[in-house]
A and B are shown apart, each in its own frame.
Chain A
């Protein structure tokens, strides 16, 4: 199994631009999670889906952030417009059951100039 796949691995953009991060979960997993890692706040959950339905988006920082999961094998996290404070590593994770089976992707390192 290829594991959780994220793209791009690195993204450098300018303030005000739209950023789209992509995630392909492990086949057969029915839950998908988006996390953000920063030095100040550590690893924080942004949103998670179960069976393609958003369950908890309380961690989404503001309306500039949106996430979709159109099918079981694909999800996007979009930031529009991006700001320098959005610079972080964004992780996608998927699981089939229970918190200990969350498998993380390698992350997307985002830098907003």
Chain B
């Protein structure tokens, strides 16, 4: 039973345009959400996070939006760059500092075309 779902296995966008990656979750106990980025032959690296008390968090070109009522979050990358081409994983946790257990989605492969 996938508690964190990324329904789009892949996404292709043009350089300079916006990339929107989506994630849905089913467990209402999740209250902390993260995005990780993974390049081939490397481990995932932390990108950005959001607590359930917020609906938006921004870090440079990356913004994460959280819609708790819909159990949905999205990652916006503006403007997209070829170096952003990677697999993006959505992850969820029950309270940071409590359980450190993360539940990951299957990932979305983003390709940014020059």
B101 near A48 with CB under 8 A, answer: yes
Residues from chain B with a CB closer than 8 A to the CB of A101 are 46
Interface of A is mostly: strand
Binding site for A on B (CB under 8 A): 2, 32, 34, 41-46, 49, 89, 91, 93, 96-97, 99-107
Contacts between the two chains (Cβ within 8 Å), count: 65
Ordered by A's residue number, 6 sampled pairs between the chains whose C-beta atoms are within 8 Å are A42-B2, A45-B101, A100-B46, A102-B102, A106-B42, A106-B43
- Out of A48, A99, A103, which one reaches B96, CB within 8 Å? A99
Top 6 nearest A-B pairs by Cβ distance?
Answer: A104-B43, A42-B106, A43-B104, A98-B96, A99-B93, A100-B49
- Could you say which residues of chain B place their CB within 8 Å of the CB of A41? 106
Which of A63-71, A77-85, A89-97 is the interface stretch?
Answer: A89-97
- Besides the known contacts A35-B104, A99-B101, 4 further A-B residue pairs in the complex with CB atoms under 8 A apart: A41-B106, A43-B104, A45-B102, A102-B100
Indicate if the CB atoms of A107 and B105 lie closer than 8 Å.
no
Per the bound structure, the CA–CA distance linking A102 and B91 in Å amounts to: 12
Residue A105 lies at the interface, judged by CB distance under 8 Å to chain B: yes
